[in-house]
Amino acid sequence: MANHCARLDRLNGLVSACLASPLDQHCRIANLEHGILTLHSDGPGWTTRLRFEAPRLLRTLRQEPEFSGLSEIRIRQTPPLAAPPQPSRQVSRLSAATGEHLRAVAEATRIPALREALLRLATRAAPPVDQP
């Protein structure tokens, strides 16, 4: 199994060298068995471009000793490799005093759109703290 993976990794480098950038970054070898090379692409646009390039790629790869028995290239679309999870955004709260100031400015303005925007922004403020 490790030998097979190492072989596919080496062959993947040969295939990538035959493809133009950025197509080479969106294609990887899935398998090479019985003269059939299966390539995976990570999106519909890249799959289409790869299918367009397949006849030229087949001719070029057949010149390499590792691909001398290559008879066909099959192209499959797969989802992209998982991207690292993005850190969750923390919702920042405005202070209660800032919320009160925004509401006061909104009441004093004569521009309706600005008043609405200030009141929407004031809803992000922490609730007012009752003072004894």
**What total number of domains does the chain contain?**
2
Q: Taking all residues of the chain, what is their mean pLDDT, rounded to a whole number?
A: 86
pLDDT digits (tens, 9 = 90+) for 53-95: 999 999 998 998 888 889 999 999 987 666 667 777 666 778 8
33 & 55 share domain: yes
Cα–Cα distance measured from residue 103 to residue 128, given in angstroms and rounded to the nearest whole number: 12
15 & 44 share domain: yes
Phi (first) and psi of residue 34, to 5 degrees: 55, 40
List, in order, residues 6 or more apart from 119 with CB less than 8 Å away. Answer: 102, 103, 106
Note whether residue 86 is domain-resident. Answer: no
Can you give the three-state secondary structure of 31-85, one letter per residue?
Answer: EEECCEEEEEECCHHHHHHHHHHHHHHHHHHCCCHHHCCCCEEEEEECCCCCCCC
69 & 115 share domain: no
Range scoring the smallest mean pLDDT among 12-26, 35-49, 58-72, 78-92? 78-92
Q: What is the mean pLDDT of residues 17-24?
A: 88
Domain membership of residue 118 as a residue range? 91-132
